[in-house]
Amino acid sequence: MRLRKSMKWGATTASAVALLAAASLVTASASVAAGHEKTLTADTMATWQTDGIVWSIEYADGVVYVGGTFANVRPPGAEPGEREVARKNFAAFDAATGRLLPCAPRLSGGGNTVRALKASPSGRVLYIGGSFTRADKVRAAGAVALNTAGCSVRKDFRPRMSSYVHAIDVTNKAVYLGGGFTVVNGRDRERIAAFTPSGKLLRFKAEIEAPVRAVLAAPEHGKVLVGGDFYMVNGDLEKSLVALHPVTGKTVASYGDWVPPRSSVKALARDRTNFYAAAEGTGTGIFDGRLAGRLGTGKRVWKDTCLGATQALAVHKGVLYSGSHAHNCRDTPGGFPEIHARQHFLAQSVRDKHILHWFPDTNGGTGEGNGPRALEMAGGVLWAGGEFTKVNGRPQQSLTRFSPGPDTGTPEAVPRLKASATAGGRVKLTWRASWDRDDAKLTYLIYRDGRLVASPTGRSAEWRRPTMTYTDSVAPGSRHQYRIAVTDGTNASPRSDALVVAAVERPKDKR
């Protein structure tokens, strides 16, 4: 709903004001859209950092695994170079406490990076892909597996990939690897291959002419969804998105014009009924946002119109979270205009693409300056990794996490009052609306001489902060101090500096 440029409230009796103030404080801390989807809070939790880029995050059996291109990690709040602990492109953390764990295989050589992490359905094995030639003291060629219980490199899963691995998905029967390779274990496998969980190369085979960036297995629907930079799959035009048979690799579903030219699918995610794709494009007429399709029928559910390359997805309780540098979302419900600064996290309803009011943010950071690169839900907490160096305006490098609650953040931009007095003791107060990262509706607490006299409410966002007004009635000729604070229903800002106003007396009768 769009706000009017100005909102006005008349004078209110003290008893009515008290009731209104009490009611305004009993509100949900999370954002609620028309479908009542509730987001996480935008508040960050204390999280370790890396000295490089995080490309992938996975959760299994109470542990969060992080892979990327980095040499060290450091505690929450530590500046670059302070209290660093060596971790070569891989680190593990306690999902509940965030504590750094001792699991630390060194994955090095080659391109010197970990790009993909995926746990087996049981959580007992973690499959790791990227561009590296050694795992600890063992030779590797782009992919290895760990026993999660002892953090030991497995001896059975040692495929020999001719180039990097960028994506992994795992079922009870198969491990699917996607990337830039064309030969696996000395056999032709063009950008995608499948193995048994113990490392035997399967007959699954497809011809894909350009790198694979994302793999999503849906064996109950007879599909393995594949996204990437490609145009051709198995001899047919299949632009950036295709579904393959999980045993043979033959094409089983096409997605026509879902992804336009010069656009690439960078991430895939799913829930019980839908799959979701994230894209990045270059040039005009491209697709940079998110789309949803039915896993079973292949029917497209929705597609948004935001620009700003989308790199990562995570689905949780009816909400699709994404990492991008979104801009110009004006034609997507709940979106924002081009004039708004780039937004690096979004939350959308999985039903209808509506952008929910959840706006934590990062900077672009190092590398390509895209900000977030990986998202993973772990025990109700959203972990995010990437190349950013700030989160919500504060220093935090490459890794952060968002809480399901309670909401602890106060609204941004405490309002400043302006006043004008007219005859008859009427005082008009004016201020610009504040905004909050995870609450669209805010309540403004207006104090006269230290006593709460009004609590008007209004909806706002960082890019839409209307002018608001309240008119007070006092004794003509009296002087008063006014202050204002703002609350999201749970957390209130400090009161503003006092504004002294002299009420104008009624004009004298000249008879």
Question: How far lies 164's CA from each of 65, 70, 116, 142, 270, in Å?
Answer: 20, 17, 10, 6, 24
For residue 391, tell me if it sits in a domain: no
Question: How far is the C-alpha of 480 from the C-alpha of 344, rounded, in Å?
Answer: 44
**Other beta carbons less than 10 A from residue 451's beta carbon:** 9
Instruction: Give the model's pLDDT for residue 20.
Output: 34
Question: How far is the C-alpha of 333 from the C-alpha of 329, rounded, in Å?
Answer: 8
Instruction: Give the model's pLDDT for residue 193.
Output: 98
Question: How, if at all, do strands 418-422 and 426-432 pair?
Answer: antiparallel
Question: How far lies 204's CA from each of 196, 246, 462, in Å?
Answer: 11, 7, 49
- For residue 262, the one-letter residue type is R
Encoding tokens for residue 187? 């056999």
For residue 40, tell me if it sits in a domain: no
For residue 16, tell me if it sits in a domain: yes
Encoding tokens for residue 158? 């040692």
Instruction: Give the model's pLDDT for residue 220.
Output: 97
Instruction: Classify residue 475 by burial, with Cβ atoms within 10 Å: 0-12, 13-18, 19+.
Output: exposed
What DSSP element (H or E) covers 15?
A: helix 14-24
Three-point CA angle 357, 53, 123, nearest 5°: 80
Q: Which residues pair with 278 in a beta bridge?
A: 267, 290
Largest CA distance in the chain: 109
Question: How far is the C-alpha of 224 from the C-alpha of 179, rounded, in Å?
Answer: 15
Contact 259, 241 (CB under 8 A): yes
Residues 6+ apart with CB under 8 A from 232: 207, 208, 209, 238
For residue 468, tell me if it sits in a domain: yes
For residue 13, tell me if it sits in a domain: yes
What is the mean pLDDT, run by run of 10 residues, along the chain of 511 residues?
34 34 35 66 97 98 97 98 98 98 95 97 98 93 97 96 98 98 98 97 98 98 98 97 98 95 97 97 93 97 97 98 96 93 96 97 93 97 98 98 95 95 92 98 98 98 96 95 97 96 73 50
- For residue 180, the one-letter residue type is G
Question: How far is the C-alpha of 447 from the C-alpha of 429, rounded, in Å?
Answer: 11
Three-state DSSP at 219 gives helix
Q: Which residues pair with 281 in a beta bridge?
A: 263
Residue 366's nearest CA partner among 338, 350, 387 is 387
For residue 262, tell me if it sits in a domain: no
Q: Which domain holds residue 449?
A: 6-30+410-502
Domain count for the chain, please give it: 1
- The whole model's pTM is what? 0.91
For residue 424, tell me if it sits in a domain: yes
Question: How far is the C-alpha of 227 from the C-alpha of 241, rounded, in Å?
Answer: 5
Give the CATH number of the domain where residue 482 resides. Answer: 2.60.40.10
What's the sign of the alpha-carbon dihedral 209, 212, 217, 218?
negative
Question: How far is the C-alpha of 381 from the C-alpha of 403, rounded, in Å?
Answer: 5
Instruction: Give the model's pLDDT for residue 313.
Output: 98
Q: Which residues pair with 171 in a beta bridge?
A: none
Contact 316, 271 (CB under 8 A): no
For residue 285, tell me if it sits in a domain: no
| Torsion angle (degrees, nearest 10) of CA 28, 29, 30, 35 | 10
- What stretches of 345-444 show up as alpha helix (H) in DSSP? none
